[in-house]
A and B are shown apart, each in its own frame.
Chain A
């Protein structure tokens, strides 16, 4: 005899609405259904009704946490459609803010993960250290969250030589604290007992279900868009693609923590080797009919933009595929076989971002009915 436990749309682990339906046998989860679509905002259609330049700021607002990835990907896609190449210095600055964003996103992940396993001291510490990277973003882009730095054909703001020592100092502080967290993850008993062998995603499942980003890398799949489809200044930067073999929550955490160290290393390299030159090239926004696809490695994985132009100042179609959407199917093998108490941390181990996700998900009449179905109906559906 199984029982259905609905979780959401007001979710206990997340601040965003999403609906999960768990089928449980006692404590054990036997099956899970995920329903997306509660945060649909119609952004893709809106993107097709505004001009290229105004769209930068809308694309930034698809997701607050990875806003720079969205605007970089959008701007690079438009640059590709228009056939222009941003200057070298702009590419380096883009990479710098992208790496800072990765650090801040992973720090936030760490903080919330600690909160989910009831380790609130670590939550406080991670939030405190995240402040360093927020300050760096404020120095570089003038805003703590939304950078507004990217523009079509380059970047709008420069990194001045006076800022560099300040940034380096903050990077040192960050490195120290990240090293402390890595040590903590390797030795702490509380973290181990809550995260080890929980929510395991095997390598086969990760490949079969097309997992992306840290989720795939934690299962031993070596995939990183920064290496596979280099963009911005990444071809000139030296870094390592971090992988772990276990595929459990602990491995996902370790991948993110070690990635932060790589990001810090990369940021230092960028600040040292920043080439001189102009920041942006002029663009004619009347872009002739063309189409392009651009991929960027967001903190959560592969982010994809497709843009089709039609000779006017507005794009004809913009399609966005966000990393959470690609990784969502791998939630099923991670949940099934686990216990109810593991739900929040396993879900968060994916670093889900539903604001990203729900731009295009179709909400049909069926989904509306889901909330009232009985167990019999549910079983019938599954066939």
Chain B
């Protein structure tokens, strides 16, 4: 009984390991593969990203004639960002989103 008292006190005063998430954010590490983002102006319409995507998540937008990513299918592998010659697609650190498409 006496032996556990110091442990109990230490545990009572210990800071919790978890954080209060929506109020307190944890920044992902550099190079995190979050939501891919497309800069339409940079795109040269070479369609390398469509060839590289393993999940066929990228298609062509009918109006703007630029790639559009269906995020429901995207697995955030980063192959499209690697394949894009002009860096029009980059992987962002954003992991909190509800969008269905990235245009």
Question: Do A and B belong to a common assembly?
Answer: yes
**Chain B residues in 8 Å Cβ range of A50:** 54
Any A CB within 8 A of the CB of B29: yes
Any B CB within 8 A of the CB of A11: no
Say yes or no: A58-B54 contact (C-beta < 8 A), given A131-B17, A142-B78, A146-B75. yes
Q: Which residue of chain A has the shortest Cβ distance to B77 in the bound complex?
A: A148
Q: Min CB distance, A271 to chain B, in Å? A: 16
Any B CB within 8 A of the CB of A135: yes
As a 0/1 sequence over residues 64 to 88 of chain B, the CB contacts with chain A under 8 angstroms (1 = contact) are 0000000000011111001000000
Q: Min CB distance, A67 to chain B, in Å? A: 11
**Chain B residues in 8 Å Cβ range of A56:** 54
| Residue contact A139 to B75, C-beta cutoff 8 Å | no
Q: Which residue of chain B has the shortest Cβ distance to A146 in the bound complex?
A: B75
| Residue contact A57 to B55, C-beta cutoff 8 Å | yes
| Residue contact A142 to B55, C-beta cutoff 8 Å | no
Q: Which residue of chain B has the shortest Cβ distance to A138 in the bound complex?
A: B29
**Chain A residues in 8 Å Cβ range of B22:** none
**Majority SS at the chain B contact face:** loop
| Residue contact A54 to B31, C-beta cutoff 8 Å | no
Q: How large is the interface on B (under 10, 10 to 19, 20 to 34, 35 or more residues)?
A: 10 to 19
**Chain B residues in 8 Å Cβ range of A148:** 33, 75-79
| Residue contact B32 to A142, C-beta cutoff 8 Å | yes
With an 8 Å Cβ cutoff, the count of chain A residues facing the other chain is 19
Any B CB within 8 A of the CB of A157: yes
**Chain A residues in 8 Å Cβ range of B32:** 138, 142-143
Any B CB within 8 A of the CB of A156: yes
Any B CB within 8 A of the CB of A53: yes
| Residue contact B54 to A57, C-beta cutoff 8 Å | yes
**Chain A residues in 8 Å Cβ range of B82:** 156
Given contacts A57-B54, A57-B55, A139-B31, 8 further A-B contacts (CB under 8 A): A50-B54, A54-B55, A58-B54, A139-B30, A143-B32, A148-B33, A148-B75, A148-B76
25 A-B Cβ contacts within 8 A?
Answer: A53-B52, A54-B54, A54-B55, A55-B54, A57-B75, A57-B77, A58-B54, A61-B75, A128-B17, A131-B17, A135-B29, A138-B28, A138-B29, A139-B29, A139-B31, A142-B29, A142-B31, A142-B32, A142-B33, A143-B76, A146-B76, A146-B77, A148-B33, A148-B75, A156-B82
Q: Lowest 5 CB-CB distances: which A-B pairs, in order?
A: A54-B54, A142-B33, A57-B54, A148-B77, A139-B29
